[in-house]
Amino acid sequence: MNRYFSWRRFWAVLTKEFVQMRRDRLTFAMMVGIPILQLILFGFAINADPKALPTAVLAADNSEFARSFVRAMENSGYFRVVRHIADTRAGERALAIGEAQFVVTIPEGFARKLVRGERPVLLLEADASDPAATSNALAALLTLNQTAFRHDLRGSLAHLQNQLPPFEVRVHRRYNPEGITQYNIVPGLIGTILTMTMVMMTSLAMTRERERGTMENLLATPVRPIEVMTGKIVPYIVVGYVQVSIILAAAWALFGVPMVGSLVLLSLALIVFIASNLAVGFTFSTLAKNQLQAMQMAFFFFLPSILLSGFMFPFRGMPQWAQWLGEVLPLTHFLRILRGILLKGNGPAEIMPNMWPIGLFLLVAAAIALIRYRETLD
């Protein structure tokens, strides 16, 4: 055999490596699963050009022109009328809870003014907290007033076509008028960083005991499961709050992110969100055999969380199935709560629709964790 490089020795190491790879099912699943998961998520689910965005219409003028305009909006593909509302307060709320991305207000006497050539004003309010989600739609809208009434302005009204545009669309970018991306990303980071650290830390906390052999000693003592679980979780809640404080301080000092809403409300919502992540981590730690597996599970949870929650890409740009998946994840709802409180100044009533799904998730995850945790070594 060669002193410096022997094929036989090399081959021995190589085959051993393959055998071990095959034994470690989860790692193997990761190696195959991660590319597939990424491919599907990036390839199919993610779309930086979201279409069919939910739009609410407040039509004080129910003329043919108003209807044509709304139809033209829908034909552009970017807008989908989800409801007709009666007053501005309803529009305000639809934007706040995220039910609608846009609210179109067609003022009274729109048709009359149009016919007289007075260039009436249409109001379009956009939830611009995520600039990426709305920019293309707004760009498309600007070309609409050129074409919307091509069919209506005929005969005696044909002259209105020449003094284009016959009306004005005034766009209000709500919550983030300058379209600053950081306003959207930085609050989102709070949720993302929490998901990553909380799930990972707790999933390691229990598996570390098992891997190092200290679990047996711990179980042999009179300590009860609920004492172990809470004793291990509370330190990380504290860690979570420290993290949030750091990010919030940086968001305020470095990026000037507005904080319109109540920080008290935010920290209350935070408890539920952190707890739900810790429960997931705890469940992983009861399933994983060692710390590596726990890390892998945490990663499997983190990847869809970051991609499907609306953190990196507009939620409404995703196909329906991906949105359903996203709705299951606590991060999706927490991001809406966070952005809602910080940018929109939402109160308890507005965050409720996103609060209960996190609560439900927490209950299910905690139940699984407690069922899986054994006081014995069985």
Partner 1 sequence: MSDAVIDVSGLTKIFGDRKVVDDVAMRVERGQICGFLGPNGSGKTTTIRMLCGLLRPDGGQGTCLGFDILREAPEIKRRVGYMTQRFSLYEDLSIRENLDFIARVYGVRERRRAVNATLEQLGLARRGGQLAGQLSGGWKQRLALAACMLHEPRLLLLDEPTAGVDPKARREFWEQIHELAARGITILVSTHYMDEAERCHELAYIAYGKLLITGTAREVVVHSKLTTWTVTGNDLFALAAELRSQPGVEMVVPFGNTLHVSGADAQLLAQTLAPYRERAGLDWQRGKPGLEDVFIKMMDYAPDNFES
Residues that bind partner 1 (CB under 8 A): 212-217, 219-224, 375-378
Distance CA 359, CA 210 (A): 29
| Amino acid of residue 10 | F
Cβ distance to partner 1 smaller for residue 219 or 370: 219
Q: Provide, rounded to whole angstroms, the least separation between the CB of residue 208 and partner 1.
A: 9
Cβ distance to partner 1 smaller for residue 172 or 224: 224
Q: Provide, rounded to whole angstroms, the least separation between the CB of residue 222 and partner 1.
A: 5
Distance CA 189, CA 1 (A): 56
Q: Whole-angstrom distance between the N-terminal and C-terminal Cα of the chain? A: 49
Give the chain's largest Cα–Cα span.
Answer: 99
Q: Provide, rounded to whole angstroms, the least separation between the CB of residue 375 and partner 1.
A: 8
Cβ distance to partner 1 smaller for residue 62 or 217: 217
Cβ distance to partner 1 smaller for residue 21 or 223: 223
Cβ distance to partner 1 smaller for residue 190 or 201: 201
In the sheet that 79-84 helps form, which strands lie side by side, from edge to edge?
79-84, 53-59, 102-106, 121-127, 168-174
Q: Provide, rounded to whole angstroms, the least separation between the CB of residue 209 and partner 1.
A: 9
Beta bridge partners of 54: 80
Q: Provide, rounded to whole angstroms, the least separation between the CB of residue 233 and partner 1.
A: 17
Q: Provide, rounded to whole angstroms, the least separation between the CB of residue 238 and partner 1.
A: 19
Spell out the SS3 assignment of 252-283: HHCCCCCCCCCHHHHHHHHHHHHHHHHHHHHH
Cβ distance to partner 1 smaller for residue 226 or 246: 226
- Total count of residues recorded for the chain: 378
| Amino acid of residue 223 | V
DSSP structural state of residue 346: -
